[in-house]
Chain A
Amino acid sequence: MSRKVIPFIAAFVLACLVMVVAGVFSFSGAVSAEKFGSDQIWTQSYSAAESMKVIDVTGDGQYDLFIQNISGVRIYDAGGNILQDFVYANPKTTLGDVNGDGVEDIIVYHSGNSFSVDTIINGQQKTIASQLPVYTPSRNAVIRFESGPQIVLGDNGGNLASISTNGQLLWQKDFGSDETRGMDDARIGGVIHVAIATYDGSLGVFDSNGNIVWEVDQEQIRRMRAYDLNADGNSEIITGGEYGALFVYNAKDGSVLFSKSIGQAVSEVRTVELNGDPSSREFVVGGKEGGIWAFSFNGTTATQIWTASLSDKVTEISGLDIDEDGKEEAVIGDDSGKVAVFTENGSRNNLPSHNSGITRIDIGKLGNERYVVIADGSDVQVNKVDFNSIPGFQYTPLIVGLVVSAIILIIAAILASIPPKPEMKVSFQDKSKESLEAQRRMLKESIADVERLRKSGEVTGDAYLARLKRLRSDLSENEAAYKTAGYPIKVETFQCPNCGGTLELGMDKCEYCGQVILS
């Protein structure tokens, strides 16, 4: 093949390879230029929110911002003005429609009057139960059992109590021996139950009468959430342990659907619709060391989609479809004040940092816009998160591939244009008979010299063969020159059929390669 063609073939193959890779990147959608930013709408001083929700609690059809910390409950309107403010001692709150008017009410479980429950309905504060058989508040939830809504309370010693919406004690129970760390409604065959977890590792599902349906013990539980991830009428209960054990239980019978050790204490678990497929939900787990894991649950088990990290303990996870592509992005905050948006494939985009650790993040419509509300150690901020992308950026690999391919082809053209290095062996041969005879005589003398040197031990075997090979080759060329010039010549050399070395006629074994020659 021509020396000029080879660089072009190699360049063409390389250029094709580059273009194929560029095409794969372009058309797979793996390449994009996207960024998330945020503009602060308003901020108010509010320290260490424990609970926060964008929700209509006033019944005016406009969403408000409900927020609670260890000293009280406050409602802001969409513009950041305080609508309601209630002072409590060590309250725990939940939201639920207690009076059936279709508006979410605030239920406050607090330490006042020997542990009481208040409702705040349309700004009207009312104590519905007091001197309850539970102690320092830890968790409470409004569970809408088939028999009617109940307010279930859990304290920091494993005591549970349930009261009706008018304050009547319905049942009480001792469950576990430590702080209640999770309380959520869980469906079994479509029927609502309550799932409760305590820090000592007890997890159980209870019916409306407080009877336990099933109970398991595992390592100490830091977080427990219940979701019907695949909408089959049976909830999945996700627990995160003190030592990194992540379990997904079937709420029906407590069987383990998925388990994994993530290597650090689980600090938060939330669902986020990352892939935009409503037939399954994804959940995101945050760790105490800043680790983040996204899982997808397919109805049978969970699979990890991606993993990422923040620099400190993950304190809150929330989902928001920022770029309006039908897929939620996970907005995640950590204890150092960092907030980042993680996309479906786990790529991280930082939002402005806060001066103190993030305590709560919620997303909702305040006024006419959807906002991300972020509460940190000292403030609550309402932000408009926006998304920007460069249109057509996904095709840049093709452009870069074209540039690279063009340069590869130019290089091939340049290299092909350079003439080959001349052979370093040259022969100046006069074609006259006298000259050829003289050369032949000289070569034979030289061969005789080499033979003599070998006999006298002045040349080693390998060197002797190499020199002999060269001289015989010259002799063969001399014979060829004779023939070309048309002079008669008695041929005295032939080529070894195996190695191509020139040998003297009559030899039956090649001196260079050892080949036996039958001729």
Chain B
Amino acid sequence: MPALCVIAVIGIVILSLFFYLLNTARKKTPVNTNVMGKKDFAPVYVSLADKPDSIMRGMDRFAREVQTTEKAGDKWRWIPLIIFVTGVGLMMVDGLLLLLGYFSLVFSAGGFLLWIAAFIMARSLRRSDSLDFSPRYKSTKEILHALRDDLKHGSTFTGHLDLTGALLSTKVAREAKDAQNRTTKLFADPWLSLKAKLYDGNVLRVTAIQKSKKRDSYWKRSRISGKSKLKPEKFKGTEQELKVRIVVNPEVYKIVPNNEFKPGANIGKYTIAQLSTDGGMVNVVATSPFDEVEQSHILGFLKSTYSLLQRKAS
């Protein structure tokens, strides 16, 4: 019976290794998900201080570089499986010897070493795999593309695109404890920050922030059995915030109220939360309960903000 158990365990290990190598070869790797249950994306941080065309070209080049690395690994993906099969072949030599009445473990040992080598290679190949780029990477590029004609000639976009993740410890805005001493963290992830001097003399500043809430894991003691149990961390929700500031060129525009653009008004996926037009600046804070807001909504909101400006007669 113990021998059967050992054989079963060895069989399971060998099968697991085989399917691990097969999935490596077929590039069928499990999709990583984060605590939000969403797919993990490449943790990219882009510092922006360039002309729109340069930024867009650079972003395309960067995406290509990542792809090149992945493709370089892709052409070798069948090698670990071939090494595994070679190991099986070596082991079969021992099997053949056994059939002939000789007992040998030399070839099996060699085969086992090859299996280890195949596993190490497969792991290395999998590590060279890159996560997909977040859709925000593309949408930021499209925002830059849409705004490029509005930019003052020769000036640059400055800011950043931070796709490293919304729930990092470096993005904790606040921590709160409830009556049961459970810690809930509030995260603020300013994933897009963009400043641009526009053609009409205005200065536009846009910040897109993802605000999330997560309860940390904690130990809970059962009132009946007295046993302690680790409760996993729990994602409590997320919302998007968009801050827009336009420093208005007073020679070109005057700020006028607009009944369709006031606090509480819905502009696409956003709802205006705060609006201030003091000091020759338009400051708007809009929120959206959606997990993700597409670039068309951001651009649409920017366009709507401009409805507060009325061009002065020349």
Contact = CB atoms under 8 A, between A and B. Distances in A.
A441 B48 CA distance: 13
A145 interface: no
B69 A408 contact: no
Interface string B242-257: 0000000000000000
Interface in B55-104: 55, 58-59, 62, 65-66, 68-69, 72-73, 76, 79, 83, 86, 90, 97, 100-104
Nearest to A350: B101
Contacts of A427: 46-47, 49
B46 A428 contact: yes
B110 A403 contact: yes
A390 B120 CA distance: 34
A1 interface: no
A19 B47 CA distance: 50
B29 interface: no
B155 interface: yes
A407 interface: yes
Interface stretch (A186-194, A216-224, A239-247, A415-423): A415-423
Interface in B95-121: 97, 100-104, 106-107, 109-110, 113-114, 117, 120-121
A33 B99 CA distance: 12
A419 B69 contact: yes
Contact of B156 (A33, A435, A463): A435
A370 to B, nearest CB: 22
A420 B47 CA distance: 21
Given A407-B117, A414-B76, A33 B102 contact: yes
Which of A34, A424, A446 has most chain B Cβ within 10 Å? A424
A466 B158 contact: no
A474 B73 contact: no
A4 to B, nearest CB: 13
Interface string A381-409: 00000001010010011001101100110
Contacts of A393: 104
B197 to A, nearest CB: 7
B213 interface: no
A458 interface: yes
Interface string A284-308: 0000000000000000000000000
A489 interface: no
Contacts of A18: 113
B174 interface: yes
A442 interface: yes
Contacts of B100: 35
Nearest to B55: A428
Given A415-B121, A424-B42, A438 B113 contact: no
Given A408-B117, A458-B188, A400 B193 contact: no
Contacts, number: 162
Q: How large is the interface on A (under 10, 10 to 19, 20 to 34, 35 or more residues)?
A: 35 or more
Contact of B158 (A31, A401, A439, A457): A439
Contacts of A490: none
A132 interface: no
Interface in A194-250: none
Contacts of A325: none
A185 to B, nearest CB: 41
A421 B174 contact: no
Interface stretch (B165-173, B272-280, B283-291, B301-309): B165-173
Interface string B153-180: 0111011000010000111111100000
Chain A facing B: main interface SS: helix
Contacts of A99: none
Contacts of A436: 49
Interface string B220-249: 000000000000000000000000000000
Contact of B110 (A400, A422, A446): A400
B121 A414 contact: yes
B47 A404 contact: no
A82 interface: no
A35 B102 contact: yes
A426 B44 contact: yes
B110 A401 contact: yes
Contacts of A430: 49-51, 54, 156
Contact of B97 (A33, A404, A415, A418): A33
Contacts of B135: none
A13 interface: no
B130 interface: yes
Contacts of B110: 400-401, 403-404
9 contacts: A400-B106, A404-B114, A404-B117, A418-B72, A418-B73, A430-B49, A435-B156, A439-B156, A478-B49
Given A25-B106, A415-B121, 7 more contacts: A418-B72, A418-B128, A420-B69, A435-B156, A442-B159, A460-B172, A463-B169
Interface of B: 42-51, 54-55, 58-59, 62, 65-66, 68-69, 72-73, 76, 79, 83, 86, 90, 97, 100-104, 106-107, 109-110, 113-114, 117, 120-121, 124-125, 128, 130, 154-156, 158-159, 164, 169-175, 188, 193, 195, 197
